[in-house]
């Protein structure tokens, strides 16, 4: 039995670092685990210009503990009126690594998102030309579509057409949750990849209703049936370069989660790597953790691999029931339980 494992330092290809006091509270958790992270732009107001992204990057750097070795990679929030020239210039200047498509009203702070992909075709054409990745929250928002079907319907109604129109656009299908998404990503060329969260590898939709309503298991896209979780586990541990680590760590204060209308989002940053390592171990695939966590992401984004390394040991991590941060309480993923692995 393997009791320690050393891998290249990983990156998080999808995280919500927030702003203000919450940013101050959570930045250190991500920086402790990851060398780089793709930072989501769904602030209020959203990060839609290179200037606002540069300012936000400064605030993130200022929120890091002294001595952190962490690089935030910034993203542009696409709106119906997104300007191809601005976005391309921000990319050329090294401010924007990628741009994020939120279908309008799909999730937290997405009210300014795109109402119809047709509106942003000139932007997407430009992104294809310059090799700038499009990050996709893949859910339709139509009220007649069951929430558990939103991702699968998005593939049929939006993604297939988009890829047909722009076959060379680099696309990351973010936080996939279904076997349909795995099949779709597998069927595409190497310019289409996907991130997978730790929570979608650990829980199925029963977790939201285990003995009562469980707001800390609620996120978007919502967890699906067991067969989907198993398909995600297979994809993540397959060794395919199309799949890489993206936590989608999305902190909300405890009162915003435990509410009559609780916010979507799971805060997994504090033990994310331990959580993934547990899955890879359970699947007999610890030898593939490094590819998923530290190689496939940079290869897709065309960035160098990290040189530093991190060692995990099988001594276990006791995850606290909650984490007190300045002025508020956060409930981490796996709260109150023990994970098999620990970062040394």
Q: By the 8 A CB rule, do 176 and 151 touch? A: yes
Look at residue 180 and give the partner it binds from Zn ion, ligand DOR, none, a contact being a CB closer than 5 to 8 Å depending on partner kind: none
Q: By the 8 A CB rule, do 266 and 343 touch? A: no
Residue 139 found at the interface with Zn ion (CB under 5 A): no
What is each CA distance from 249 to 2, 10, 15, 44, in whole angstroms?
A: 28, 15, 5, 17
Strands (E), 34-140: 36-39, 71-77, 96-101, 134-136
Residue 295 found at the interface with Zn ion (CB under 5 A): no
Using CB under 6 A as the criterion, which residues of the chain lie in contact with ligand DOR when the complex forms? Answer: 16, 42, 107-108, 137, 219-220, 250, 264-265
Q: Does the bond joining 159 to the residue before it have cis omega, within 30 degrees of 0?
A: no
Quick one: 41 or 90, whose CB is closer to Zn ion? 41
Look at residue 265 and give the partner it binds from ligand DOR, Zn ion, none, a contact being a CB closer than 5 to 8 Å depending on partner kind: ligand DOR
Quick one: 30 or 317, whose CB is closer to ligand DOR? 30
Look at residue 219 and give the partner it binds from ligand DOR, Zn ion, none, a contact being a CB closer than 5 to 8 Å depending on partner kind: ligand DOR
- Least distance (Å) from ligand DOR to the CB of residue 245? 16
Q: By the 8 A CB rule, do 325 and 262 touch? A: no
Look at residue 334 and give the partner it binds from Zn ion, ligand DOR, none, a contact being a CB closer than 5 to 8 Å depending on partner kind: none
- Least distance (Å) from ligand DOR to the CB of residue 269? 13
- Least distance (Å) from Zn ion to the CB of residue 11? 15
77 dihedral zone (left: phi>0; alpha: psi -120 to 50; beta):
beta
What is each CA distance from 259 to 23, 25, 213, in whole angstroms?
A: 22, 21, 11
Quick one: 219 or 312, whose CB is closer to Zn ion? 219
Quick one: 95 or 101, whose CB is closer to ligand DOR? 101
List 151, 248, 290, 295, residue binding Zn ion (CB under 5 A): 248
Distance CA 4, CA 7 (A): 10
**For this structure, is 86 an active site residue?**
no
Exactly one of 80, 248, 281, 287 is catalytic; which is it?
Answer: 248
Surface-to-core class of residue 203, CB atoms within 10 Å of its CB (0-12 exposed, 13-18 middle, 19+ buried): buried
Q: By the 8 A CB rule, do 194 and 242 touch? A: yes
- Least distance (Å) from Zn ion to the CB of residue 98? 13
Distance CA 290, CA 192 (A): 20
- Least distance (Å) from ligand DOR to the CB of residue 208? 12
- Comparing every residue's Cβ against Zn ion, the nearest one is 248
> Between the CA atoms of 208, 214, 217 and 219, what dihedral angle is there, to the nearest 10 degrees?
90
Quick one: 7 or 232, whose CB is closer to ligand DOR? 232
Return the active site residues: 248
Which residues are at the interface with Zn ion (CB under 5 A)? 248
């Amino acid at each position: 039995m393997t009791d320690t494992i050393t891998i290249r330092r990983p990156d998080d290809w999808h995280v919500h670092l927030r702003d203000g006091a919450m940013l101050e509270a959570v930045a250190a958790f991500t920086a402790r685990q990851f060398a780089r992270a793709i930072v989501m732009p769904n602030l209020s107001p959203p990060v839609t210009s290179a200037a606002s992204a540069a300012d936000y990057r400064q605030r993130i750097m200022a929120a890091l503990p002294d001595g952190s070795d962490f690089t935030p990679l910034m993203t542009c929030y696409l709106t119906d009126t997104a300007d191809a020239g601005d976005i391309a210039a921000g990319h050329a200047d090294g401010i924007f690594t990628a741009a994020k498509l939120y279908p309008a009203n799909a999730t937290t702070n997405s009210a300014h998102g795109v109402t119809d992909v047709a509106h942003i075709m000139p932007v997407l054409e430009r992104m294809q030309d310059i090799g700038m990745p499009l990050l996709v929250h893949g859910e339709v928002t139509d009220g007649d579509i069951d929430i558990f079907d939103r991702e699968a319907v998005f593939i049929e109604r939006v993604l297939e057409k988009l890829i047909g129109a722009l076959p060379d656009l680099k696309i990351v299908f973010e936080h996939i949750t279904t076997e349909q998404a795995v099949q779709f990503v597998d069927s595409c060329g190497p310019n289409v990849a996907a991130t997978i969260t730790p929570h979608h590898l650990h829980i199925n939709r029963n977790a939201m209703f285990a003995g009562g309503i469980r707001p800390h298991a609620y996120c978007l896209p919502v967890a699906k049936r067991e067969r989907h979780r198993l398909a995600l586990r297979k994809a993540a541990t397959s060794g395919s370069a199309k799949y890489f680590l993206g936590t989608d760590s999305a902190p909300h204060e405890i009162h915003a989660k435990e509410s009559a209308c609780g916010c979507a989002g799971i805060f997994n940053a504090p033990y994310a790597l331990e959580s993934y390592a547990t899955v890879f171990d359970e699947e007999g695939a610890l030898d593939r953790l490094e590819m998923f966590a530290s190689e496939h992401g940079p290869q897709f984004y065309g960035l160098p691999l990290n040189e530093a390394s991190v060692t995990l040991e099988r001594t276990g991590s006791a995850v606290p029931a909650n984490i007190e941060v300045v002025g508020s309480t956060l409930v981490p993923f796996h709260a109150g339980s023990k994970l098999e692995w620990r970062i040394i």
